[in-house]
A and B are shown apart, each in its own frame.
Chain A
Amino acid sequence: MFSEIAEYFRTETLPHMWCPGCGNGTITAALVRAIKTLRLDQNKVVIVSGIGCSSRMPGYLDFNTLHTTHGRALAFATGIKAAKPELDVFVVMGDGDSSAIGGNHLIHAARRNIDLTAIIINNNIYGMTGGQSSPMTPHDKRATTSPYGNLERPFQLLDLVQAAGATYGARATAYHNQLLSKLIIDAYNNPGFSLIEAISQCPVSYGRRNKFKTPADMLLWQKEHGVTAGRRALKDEDFLIGEVFNKEAPEYTQEYEKLRQRLKGGER
């Protein structure tokens, strides 16, 4: 129910700009429900985004919100968190935003293990610019800039950030949105860089070109192919949902604070 979470929205900004059937709204609600469950102080929450349809999310939300430049959300968020670690910083990005133009910031935020909760809304396409292929467009799928099918292969986002040094990684979908909320809570509680891949649907720019007749077909695809670890062997288009990795490593802002304290004690 929207009324349960309305207090976290700038209701004067609604209705939102997303197309009917888009997964962004569902994922927004999942994030807000997680923040509500965590009982975070609205004044201490910062939501940062890049550029894209998904990145319009913070504008609708009543927190400290920062809609930045294409691909750079994590770098802005790094400055915020490093300068004021007591803030709770969430970062919302599109798949193109985070893995193409922002790919460098993604791996370096992971390498620093800086305490940010990042959500990549992966709709496998550049939504805002009208359906060009992204680094997350599956092999052979169609986009306006891969009209004969995508020759390239997509990233495995969670493997990528894990190898780079992130300490928490999880995946859910717009269909599995309650799971998504729970994973956002776990990601927030991880003191380090956490990434959640939220698989979403873009019926207009991706679905139409790739044999999905309706948004519901895309949600059913998510339902069918999202597999909890251990339930069954993964085949064809299947992907794991739930927590994918969770480990411990020194967190950047804590390490920096230790340095300040060490220097205060006269040690160099």
Chain B
Amino acid sequence: MSKARLMQGNEACAEGALAAGVRFYAGYPITPSTEIAEIMAEKLPLLGGTFIQMEDEIGSMAAVIGASLTGAKSLTATSGPGFSLKQENLGYAIATEVPCVVVNVQRGGPSTGLPTSPAQADVMQAKWGTHGDHPMIALSPSSVQECYELTVKAFNFAEEFRTVVIMLMDEVVGHLREKVELPESLPVENRKKPTVSPDQYVPFANDPSLIPAMANFGEGYRYHVTGLTHGENGLPTGKPEVTAKFLKRLTQKLDPYLERIQLWEEAYLADAELIVLAYGCTARPVREAIDAARREGLKVGLFRPITIWPFPSREIAKYKGRKFLVPEMNNGQLVGEVERVFGFEGVERLNRIDGELITVTEILEKIREVMSHVQ
């Protein structure tokens, strides 16, 4: 049994977090993400959890990591300028393998940019915003329903893989109201706890799963956590051989699980001569434009990455020889990943960075134009 409700994307994200078992939220207000904080402020104390409004986004990210170390599933939400401020501690969470979920309801940039207008401006920042080589999971919902379901998934991935998961939303899905079917329950994952006694516990073990078991602070497993490069015992080291081992595991730890992490949706790909690759809010007009193009007899398909990081390169590589069109509400960010697979030849862009959605008509015209060159 599921219940249907009319909901805003940000609200669905908050509800998804609650369904996943979130118990701690720290944040700093910023449009267009603030509703998430407001809902958390109301709901968390009712559930025995904690909401705290921090002095800035740097502190919010820090508090979220601290809370997660005690075992609380932890969340923060922000937008462009705040996302920039979170980057240093976001890297800290990745390096120390502390699970948490960061929602970025994207708005136009750079700088204060367009606070109330949609954009997909932080695609590359989500991947490379924090310094150093690191793994990254970022999910991009394109409906209110997905805001709910993917937030649950985001927590599951964060807990299972001991990392930061970014919900890369945008102002459109964040503020959109749609009917949502709330499933009675969705599978919920919790971090793997140590099964050995405290004296046997190796906090950052080179486990065959690549994901070491995580003890929470206060449970008898005393260990050290540092953002410095560390050995399996958690203590800092500068030794090249220990560093290499640690960074190899850290940067490769998602690899065995890509099949489960990389989510996408596809439509009409079998005979498609042109594949439109679109994500987030842009996938909505793209879907309409593809339907219209099909009615005109144009062989066009949709590939919608839901997981944008790690980018499903191997999956799209199957479509060698087809043309690609990548519409984005930025100046061309995810398109670079498509070009990494196919080169510049046959990969077309459609970009808009003025705060307005790319329209069905614009996409349809571009589809017609590209298709007119297909023999």
Contacts and interface: CB of A to CB of B under 8 A. Distances in A.
Interface of A: 10, 13, 42-44, 46, 48, 58-59, 62-69, 72, 75-84, 86-87, 104-105, 108, 256, 259-260, 263
B228 interface: yes
5 contacts: A63-B222, A69-B88, A75-B63, A84-B72, A104-B55
A161 B226 CA distance: 27
Interface string B5-42: 00000000000000000011010000000000000000
A120 to B, nearest CB: 18
Interface stretch (B43-51, B148-156, B271-279): B43-51
B131 to A, nearest CB: 12
A79 B26 contact: yes
B95 to A, nearest CB: 10
A66 B69 contact: yes
B65 interface: yes
Given A75-B59, A79-B24, 16 more contacts: A43-B222, A65-B223, A66-B69, A68-B227, A69-B62, A72-B89, A75-B55, A75-B63, A78-B62, A78-B66, A80-B69, A83-B67, A83-B71, A84-B218, A256-B50, A263-B45
Given A67-B228, A84-B217, A59 B70 contact: no
Contacts of B311: none
A65 B227 contact: no
B69 A105 contact: no
A79 B220 contact: no
B45 A260 contact: yes
Nearest to B54: A75
B167 interface: no
A42 B222 contact: yes
Contacts of A260: 45-46, 48
Interface string B303-340: 00000000000000000000000000000000000000
A69 B74 CA distance: 19
B64 interface: yes
A83 B50 contact: yes
Given A44-B218, A79-B64, A84 B70 contact: yes
- Which size class do B's interface residues fall under? 35 or more
Contacts of A44: 218
Interface in B162-206: none
Nearest to A108: B55
Contacts of B68: 79
A260 B52 CA distance: 13
Interface string B333-368: 000000000000000000000000000000000000
B59 A72 contact: yes
B58 A75 contact: yes
Contacts of A72: 58-59, 62, 89
Interface centre among B26, B62, B219, B227 (most CB of A within 10 A): B62
A79 B69 CA distance: 9
A133 B24 CA distance: 38
Given A59-B235, A59-B236, A260-B48, A79 B62 contact: yes
A46 B217 contact: yes
A78 B236 contact: no
| 6 closest Cβ pairs, A-B complex | A79-B66, A79-B63, A75-B62, A83-B67, A75-B59, A84-B70
B207 interface: no
B21 to A, nearest CB: 13
B245 interface: no
Contacts of B222: 42-43, 62-65
A21 B26 CA distance: 41
B224 interface: yes
A72 B60 CA distance: 10
A10 B226 CA distance: 15
A82 B63 contact: yes
A17 to B, nearest CB: 9
A13 B52 CA distance: 36
Nearest to A67: B226
Contacts of A80: 66-67, 69-70, 217
B56 interface: yes
A82 B218 contact: no
Given A79-B64, A84-B217, A65 B224 contact: yes
A81 B54 CA distance: 14
Nearest to B91: A69
Contacts of B225: 65-67
Interface string B219-253: 11011111110000001100000000000000000
A77 B45 contact: no
B59 A108 contact: yes
A232 B60 CA distance: 45
B62 A76 contact: yes
A48 B217 CA distance: 12
Contacts of A67: 224-228, 236
Nearest to B47: A260
B83 interface: no
B92 interface: yes
A247 B134 CA distance: 46
A177 to B, nearest CB: 25
B162 to A, nearest CB: 16
A62 B224 CA distance: 8
